[in-house]
Amino acid sequence: MARTQGSRAEITGPLIRTHALQLFARQGYAAVSMRQIAAAVGVQAGALYSYIPDKQALLADLLESHMQDLLDAWRDDPALPALRRLEGFVRFHIDFSLDHSDAVFLSYMELRNLTPDNHHRIVALRERYETALEVILRDGVTSGTMRLDDPRLTTMALIAMLTGVTNWYREGGRLDRQRIGDIYWGLVRGAVGAD
């Protein structure tokens, strides 16, 4: 990792974020030192502070960017039937979660290590995403294609179920992504009484 002195501003910033995300997710925010991040990037610890004010701001920035990416990536079409939109959500959420499993795990786990201000801002973004699913479920109930008792609780239950795929999925494992999406969609369809 040792590297001769030199300037590489164009890539160091993103590298810090990439490596910090991976290290935080795998060891936990508090367990990772700035020296570790610097070593992964290939700079000395002091150099990090040209890019970030402190460790807390780095964490908050990673989590907020992730939630923003998630919201930006999700595309809904309210003109479609609710059941079709629900299927879209299921497949999107699984794919996005697997593509960003480090950030997903970090978001779940390190919210408590944020200052109250940062915490509030990021939880608000998460709630916008949850509400997107809740709206679909309510539409499904209203239009009679779904049958369920409590849209809000069902929202939380479904998101937990889908996100859980990151706990056991391994690239090249027994099931490929398409198949996983199919199976989860079958579970969800049944859960919302749409069979």
Partner DNA sequence: GTCTATATTAGGATAGAC
Partner DNA sequence: GTCTATCCTAATATAGAC
Min. distance of Cβ 100 from DNA in angstroms? 24
Residue 115 binds to DNA (criterion: CB under 7 A): no
Q: Is 128 in the site for DNA (CB under 7 A)?
A: no
Binding site for a second copy (CB under 8 A): 26-31, 109-110, 112-113, 148-150, 153-154, 156-161, 163-165, 167-168, 175, 180, 182-184, 186-188, 190-193, 195
Among 93, 8, 98, 102, which residue's Cα sits nearest to residue 47?
8
Q: Are 125 and 71 in contact (CB under 8 A)?
A: yes
Q: Whole-angstrom Cα distance, residue 186 to residue 174?
A: 18
Q: How far apart are CA 169 and CA 63, in angstroms?
A: 22
Residues 44-83 binding DNA (CB under 7 A) are: 44-47, 49-51, 54-56
Q: How many helices and strands in the chain, by DSSP H and E?
A: 9, 0
Question: How many CB atoms lie under 10 A from the CB of residue 43?
Answer: 21
- 33 makes contact with DNA (CB under 7 A): yes
Q: How far is the CB of 125 from DNA (least distance, A)?
A: 24
Nearer to a second copy, 125 or 157 (CB): 157
Q: Using CB under 7 A, pick the residue from 32, 106, 165, 180 that binds DNA.
A: 32
Pairwise CA distance, residues 65 & 163, whole Å: 18
* Residues binding DNA (CB under 7 A): 3, 5-9, 12, 32-36, 38, 42-47, 49-51, 54-56
